[in-house]
Amino acid sequence: MTEEERKAYFEEIKEERGSILEELVEEGIISEEEAEKIQEILKK
């Protein structure tokens, strides 16, 4: 895997992670506040 491919892969993962959290909020599984806290933790 080249450096460019690796960067593209991790960008894609970031986008998917956001959409997964959005789905959980929409389904009422977690609150918007919980989703925001999870995103903060995952950014570290």
Domain coordinates in residue numbering, the chain: 3-43
- Cα dist from 1 to 12, 17, 37, 38, whole Å: 15, 22, 32, 29
The pLDDT score that the predictor gives to residue 34 is 96
> Rounded distance, CA 15 to CA 31, Å?
19
Q: pLDDT tens for residues 8-24?
A: 888 887 777 768 888 99
Residues with Cβ within 8 Å of 32's Cβ and at least 6 positions away in sequence, in order, are: 25
Burial class (CB in 10 A: 0-12, 13-18, 19+), 30: middle
Can you give the pTM of this predicted structure? Answer: 0.59
